[in-house]
């Protein structure tokens, strides 16, 4: 068992790779993965962790996401981006629903805070 405690969650972590963005992983894939495995921080902790490790120059990232409707990590993946309808699944009763888990990240260029091809903005869905 690790004796390293993560500052955001207060829980032990096995290795730093568990709580860092993977090479090429986009912001919503990383935040969605971290919220699913570690929980929401109640703030933009995972967003800030992504920024520090993958996009240091994006100093206005949190402010930009707040103006787009996010108030904490767990709202990022509903308020700012949603999984593309092409990834949604049909239920037995004929309803189209998002998958329970996001597919592996499609990847983005280094230092990008943009989503990969799996994500769209809610305004695109409303059309």
Percent of the chain with pLDDT over 90: 62
- Higher-confidence residue: 91 or 15? 91
Is residue 77 domain-resident?
A: yes
Which segments of 25-123 are extended strands (E)? 82-83, 89-90, 96-97, 119-120
Is residue 57 domain-resident?
A: yes
The residue segments making up the domain with residue 111 are 4-121
Q: What is the pTM of this model?
A: 0.83
Cβ contact 84:118 at 8 Å: yes
Cβ contact 120:84 at 8 Å: yes
Is residue 45 domain-resident?
A: yes
- Higher-confidence residue: 26 or 16? 26
Residue 58, pLDDT > 50, answer yes
The CA distance from 121 to 79, in Å, is 8
Q: What is the number of domains present in the chain? A: 1
- Encoded tokens for 126: 């409303």
Is residue 127 domain-resident?
A: no
* Structure confidence at residue 123 as a pLDDT band (50, 70, 90): confident
> What pLDDT, on the 0 to 100 scale, is given for residue 110?
93
């Amino acid at each position: 068992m690790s004796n390293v405690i993560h500052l955001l969650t207060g829980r032990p972590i096995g290795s730093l790779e568990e709580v860092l963005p993977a090479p090429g992983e986009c912001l919503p894939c990383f935040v969605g993965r971290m919220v699913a495995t570690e929980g929401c921080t109640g703030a933009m902790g995972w967003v800030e962790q992504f920024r520090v490790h993958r996009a240091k120059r994006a100093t206005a990232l949190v402010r930009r996401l707040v103006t787009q409707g996010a108030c904490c990590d767990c709202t990022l993946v509903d308020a700012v981006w949603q999984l593309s309808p092409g990834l949604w699944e049909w239920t037995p009763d004929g309803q189209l629903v998002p998958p329970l888990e996001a597919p592996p990240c499609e990847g983005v260029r280094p230092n990008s805070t943009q989503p990969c091809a799996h994500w769209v903005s809610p305004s695109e869905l409303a059309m």
